[in-house]
Amino acid sequence: MANSIKPSELVALGLYGNEQDVIDDGIRHILRSHPEYKIEIAVKKYKHEEVSLGKAADIAGISLEDMKELLRTRGVALKGLESMKEIQEDIEQARKAMQ
């Protein structure tokens, strides 16, 4: 990668505040170009119990019902709501979907 541009060079030009901003912008661009990656991330996080069903749907950018169906088609068992935090996240996801 002899011709590659380093994040620090973009920061030095004043185009970004810091290297993490460069990385975050790059990731946003990748996810816009490949929306299917968001679905893969959401499924993995849900499968490994890192996020609730509502949060997984939010990450994937799909409805709660679509997320449930997606998980079913991939053979991922739906988990019961285990805490008040998960219930609140699912309520917030439903509110966002109604807007």
Spans of all domains in the chain: 7-98
Say if residue 18's pLDDT is above 90. Answer: yes
Query: Under a CB-based contact definition with an 8 Å cutoff, are residues 52 and 81 in contact?
Result: yes
Q: Which two tokens stand for residue 7?
A: 């994040």
How confident is residue 90, by pLDDT bands cut at 50, 70 and 90? confident
One-letter amino acid for residue 78 of the chain: L
State phi, psi for 10 to the nearest 5 degrees.
Answer: -70, -35
Q: What pLDDT is attached to residue 89? A: 74
Q: For 82, which DSSP code?
A: -
Distance in angstroms (rounded) separating the CA atoms of residues 19 and 12? 10
Strand, helix or coil at 70?
helix
